[in-house]
């Protein structure tokens, strides 16, 4: 924990990012910060700076728009992410994908492990890989452990789409992009997604593009 007079290099970096108001710039694939992994959060930002940084992550996630954003995606190698999904989807999509609303949450030092062996495969995208989506088979349920923004312990099971979001965001903190886990033959540009693969599940895409589903 740094005293107010000795700012850590990460605090300097965050102060610099927050010097201009508005959404932060989202870093895109090819930038090493997305691949290096992150430092555990251990007070490198004082509580005021942490709160400002979280507000900026939330603003940036909303502006994108996205349902999750990890600190490395704005160039900050700290083990922090935010998630929030109002899930404005039709009923058939909600049922097929388990896409239920996920209230705003801050994940500090998160880790996950699978609960059970079931997997769920759906198209997903990433703000750091703009223009593309691909099918990723992920654990259908995960146990997430870590802390919240006030340092309180979190130990919670996530299912449905929220389970996908916490896996995607936690993976970012380990330098992993969704493409590392994707069925690469499913890779689809947004135009193809909009024209062809709007079904609630990816079976048709799997048959047409030639990839396996779990
Ligand atoms: Zn992402």
Q: What's the 10 CA to ligand 1 centre distance in angstroms?
A: 21
pTM of the full structure: 0.95
In this structure, what token pair is assigned to residue 57? 């992550």
Fold annotation for 9-117+139-175: Peptide Deformylase (3.90.45)
Q: What's the 69 CA to ligand 1 centre distance in angstroms?
A: 7
pLDDT at 5: 60
Beta-carbon neighbours within 5 Å of ion ligand 1: 126
Query: Among residues 50, 33, 23, 184, which one has the least CA distance to residue 106?
Result: 50
- Catalytic residue positions? 169
How would DSSP label each residue in 123-135?
Answer: EE--TTSTTEEEE
- Would you give the DSSP letter of residue 6? S
In this structure, what token pair is assigned to residue 146? 């870590």
| Secondary structure E strands in 25-70 | 68-70
Domain boundaries defined on the chain: 9-117+139-175
In this structure, what token pair is assigned to residue 70? 């990890």
Specify the pairing of strand 153-159 against strand 141-147: antiparallel
Q: Please report, in tens digits, the pLDDT of each residue of the chain (214 residues total).
A: 555 567 889 999 999 999 999 999 999 999 999 999 999 999 999 999 999 999 999 999 999 999 999 999 999 999 999 999 999 999 999 999 999 999 999 999 999 999 999 999 999 999 999 999 999 999 999 999 999 999 999 999 999 999 999 999 999 999 999 999 999 999 999 999 999 999 999 999 999 999 999 9
Q: What's the 174 CA to ligand 1 centre distance in angstroms?
A: 12
Give Cα 20 distance to the centre of its chain: 24
Q: What's the 178 CA to ligand 1 centre distance in angstroms?
A: 7
pLDDT at 2: 52
């Amino acid at each position: 924990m740094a005293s107010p007079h000795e700012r850590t290099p990460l605090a300097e970096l965050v102060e610099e990012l927050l010097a201009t108001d508005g959404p932060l710039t989202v870093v895109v694939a090819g930038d090493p910060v997305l691949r290096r992994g992150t430092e555990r959060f251990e007070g490198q930002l004082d509580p005021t700076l942490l709160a400002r940084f979280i507000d900026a992550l939330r603003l940036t996630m909303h502006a994108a728009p996205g349902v999750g954003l990890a600190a490395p995606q704005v160039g900050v190698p700290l083990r922090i992410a935010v998630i929030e999904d109002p899930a404005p989807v039709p009923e058939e999509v909600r049922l097929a994908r388990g896409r239920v609303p996920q209230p705003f949450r801050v994940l500090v030092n998160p880790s996950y492990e699978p609960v059970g062996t079931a997997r769920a495969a759906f198209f997903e995208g990433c703000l750091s890989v703009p223009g593309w989506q691909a099918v990723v088979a992920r654990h259908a349920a995960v146990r997430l452990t870590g802390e919240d923004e006030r340092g309180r312990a979190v130990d919670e099971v996530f299912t449905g789409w929220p389970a996908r979001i916490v896996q995607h965001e936690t993976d970012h903190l380990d330098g992993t992009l969704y493409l590392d886990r994707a069925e690469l033959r499913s890779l689809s540009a947004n135009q193809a997604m909009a024209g062809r693969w709007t079904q609630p599940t990816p079976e048709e895409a799997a048959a047409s593009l030639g990839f396996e589903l779990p």
